[in-house]
Amino acid sequence: MSTATAPPSTAFDLDYSITDFIEGKSRDSQWLYEAIEEAMVDHATEVRGGRVLDVACGTGRVAMRIAEHGCLAVGAEASMEMIGLGRWVQPESRALMVRSIAEQLPFADETFDRVICQGSLDHFVDPYAFMREAARVLRPDGRVVIALANFDSVSCRLGRTVDRVKWRLGRPRPPWRRYWEQPEDHNVKGDLKFVRSLGSGALILDRCYGISLMWLFFGWGSLLDRLPQPLARGIWRALDRFARGRPQHADMIISVWRRPRGPSRWPAD
């Protein structure tokens, strides 16, 4: 592995801050985040003692968990603030942290058994360039695992419908961004159609599934918070099981990719 140095032309991509993400406190938010993280750790640790790269790893929380399973875990992150915070929180972790942008990974070909990216791909300047880089650094039998928010989920579609009805009834719209609208710092709209397009000849979709249903819909989180926890958890799990087989409806889409069979070929930019 070589030293990570971001080229000057990509300096604008290094400004992400820990303040870019505010974790929800409702039960459904906490359960969603837990389910996503568990899925990423499970996929990452499928190869015992394998090499794992977590791209856009933030503070490195997931990479540090992966390292606890005996894997060689490397976190690649553009923000020095994120890297520094992660090292301050867990200075004893064996996970390695490298400053790098996703579109130009500073690693040799066929280095990693798993490449993972949780909730960040829609921020990338060029997601397809990242996928080509992920394919390049992936070992022949490796997997790339992407977790991406679905802006065409049942919750988002229902939210848009309710919003239109309220507007027609003369209800004022709030000045802030509604949860089903693509944020300004997202360069693409995450949905199943976009996910299926990501391979670009460099990778083949191996499997795809969803996590959670109805996240952020009007009053849904508050309802689960008011119910007895065992009942609320049971409802959430039932909807999550439904979402697993229907990623087009789910709140989050998990896609697992593999390299095509045959000689290594990296598509041109």
pLDDT value of position 25:
81
Query: Could you tell me the CATH number of the domain that includes residue 155?
Result: 3.40.50.150
Q: Count the domains in the chain.
A: 1
Q: Tell whether 263 is covered by a domain.
A: no
When computed from its CA atoms, the radius of gyration of the chain, rounded to whole angstroms, is: 19
Q: Closest by alpha carbon to 79, among 95, 55, 63, 62?
A: 55
pLDDT value of position 15:
46
Q: Closest by alpha carbon to 34, among 216, 154, 211, 179?
A: 211
Count of CB atoms situated within 10 Å of the CB of 268: 6
Better pLDDT: 100 or 6: 100
Q: Count H helices and E strands in the chain, helices first.
A: 8, 7
> CA 63: distance to chain centroid?
13
Alpha-carbon distance of 58 to 43, in angstroms, equals: 19
Q: Tell whether 162 is covered by a domain.
A: yes
Q: Tell whether 80 is covered by a domain.
A: yes
Q: Tell whether 1 is covered by a domain.
A: no
Q: Tell whether 269 is covered by a domain.
A: no
With tokens 């604008």, the residue in question is 12
Alpha-carbon distance of 212 to 215, in angstroms, equals: 7
Q: Closest by alpha carbon to 194, among 131, 115, 240?
A: 131
Domain around 195: 8-16+25-258
Range with lowest mean pLDDT among 43-57, 169-183, 186-200: 169-183
Q: Tell whether 140 is covered by a domain.
A: yes
pLDDT tens, position by position, 20-68 = 444 568 999 999 999 999 999 999 999 999 999 999 999 999 999 999 9
Q: Tell whether 216 is covered by a domain.
A: yes
pLDDT tens, position by position, 136-146 = 999 999 999 99
Q: Tell whether 137 is covered by a domain.
A: yes
